[in-house]
Structure formats: structure tokens, C-alpha cells
Structure 1
């Protein structure tokens, strides 16, 4: 590890902090540049011990496809939920399900839980302490709960596993 990387462990973050400092103060005077540079070095140094290594994205092009699929699902689910809540209330059958997880790390699990929550009609409730189950609330539970589990695993989890190389 070089001396420079010990002083500036996260150079991009340091540069962004400097830019944000200058934009917040709406000045580019030497004093603010120096203060912003000091903050850009000190803050990442203080935060460096808190960083946790994360799984990296192995297939970024698959991530683009995934985002497009999720956007399409959000639009479709919005329409479905709108018709559901505008209709008779007895048609709504909420429920919880436990989705078994086959993901390798916390970041892919977080991406899956966030995706489920972003899609109208479903909300991630909790991830089990052993990271083996994702508890999901479904606004309109079908007769066969396995349909929802299969949809989440095939449509989202399998793609996340591919993206992160799990």
C-alpha cells in the first residue's frame, strides 16, 4: 500500500467531497479550496475503517437489462394495483410469504429486497438473521403462494445471481 493511498484511501470520494463543499459555499476562493481538500482527505480517513468489502458486479451489461425489466414490472404492477384498489375490497387478499434465498452476499440480497419493495403490490419485510429467507408482504396473494416465490426467484433472484456471479 503506497503512502498516497494511505493518505487518500478513497480518491474519488475525496474529490466529490471537495466539489460538494465548493458548490455548497458557492465560492472558489483559495481558503475554501484548501478547507474542502482537508475535509475531502479527513472524512474518508475517518470513514475508512467502517467500510465493508462488497461483492462486485461481474456482468454490468446484465445489470442494464435487469433495470429495464424492473422498470417494466413497476409500470405493469402500478396499473394492476390501481385496478385492484379501485375495485371491491373483498378482492384484495393480503399475506406474507417466505422466499428462500440463494444469494452469496448482503449486497445482492439488498438489491433483491429493494426490487421487491419497488414493485407495487409487494414489500420486503425482513431478511432472516441467517440470510436464507426474505419475508415479503403481498397485497393480493394468489391461491398458490408458490407462484409468487417462483416469480421472485426466476424473474429477479436468478438475474441478480448472474449479475454478481453468485
Structure 2
């Protein structure tokens, strides 16, 4: 069954969406089923091989930390923008951060976390050296972004996917 329908929920949902967007008829039912099955097979071929989730608890802690960081960053960036950016006191910078993560799934989660946090952007990642290039909107002198990323986000992802 798994080879015939590798992602049954995805196939079923796509078929139902197809039927919702078209008229309910036998032809549309067959066509929706075909679209759902093709999408499921395609998704199965694209599915990366990697480490499986070992523990959900670190991801729940990460979600709480990220929610708090996003709220704080939103307020800080809004304050900077509304106060005219405090020219001369604020400067943007690129920071190189060595990462211990190598698996694509946790790296993708880390990219989403960093990009979703206002004031930071994931610019590039060198797979060979494990270096992340991060853009910081308001680089405060003395802030250690490597330690922040490593201790707040990467450690929890390593724990979850170890």
C-alpha cells in the first residue's frame, strides 16, 4: 500500500481540493484522484533522506523561544523605524556563524526561525565549511550572534534531531 499510495493523506486532500474547485462528477473524481496520486508519488521521490525527529519536547521549547524572540524583535525593529533609525547609532552587518547542524531538515527549520525573526535574515550557507552568513539589521556592539544562534536555536534542534 505504501508503494502504491506513498502519501495517502496528501493524495486525499489534493483530491478533495480538486473536487471543491470543480463540479462533482465522475470525470472530475477520476481526474482529482489522478492529480492526488501523481502529487503523492512526486513528493515521495523528492523526500530527503535524513535524521528522524527524536524528541518533540525540544521543538516545543524552540517554538516558545522563537515566539518570544519574534515578539521582542518586532517591537525593537518597529521602534528603530518609527524613531527614524537613530542614524549614527544603528548599523547593519553581516555575521559569519559556524554551525554544527548538517542535516537538511534541522537546517531548514533554523533558516525559517532566523528569517521569521524581524531584524535578521539567512543570506547563505556553505555546506562544505558549515558557515552561515547572517544579516543583522541592528548590530549592537559586543553582541555575540554565534553564541546566541548556537545556544538558543541550534542546541535545541540538535537535541530534537540527534
User: Which of 131, 134, 137 is the aligned partner of 1:133?
Assistant: 131
Query: Does the aligned pair in 2 maintain the 1:95–1:137 contact within 8 Å?
Result: yes
Query: Does the aligned pair in 1 maintain the 2:111–2:122 contact within 8 Å?
Result: yes
2:10 aligns to what? 13
TM-score by structure 2 length?
0.87
Gap change, CA 1:130 and 1:78, over 3 Å in 2: same
TM-score by structure 1 length?
0.85
Structure 1 residue runs of 5 or longer lacking an equivalent are none
Count, aligned residues: 160
Are 1:160 and 2:157 counterparts?
yes
Distance apart, 1:106 and its partner CA: 1.2
Are 1:151 and 2:148 counterparts?
yes
Q: What is the distance in 2 between the residues matched to 1:128 and 1:104? A: 10
Structure 1 stretches of 4+ with a deviation exceeding 3 A read none
Distance apart, 1:150 and its partner CA: 0.8
Distance apart, 1:131 and its partner CA: 5.7
Instruction: State the SS of the aligned residue for 1:104.
Output: coil
Gap change, CA 1:110 and 1:24, over 3 Å in 2: same
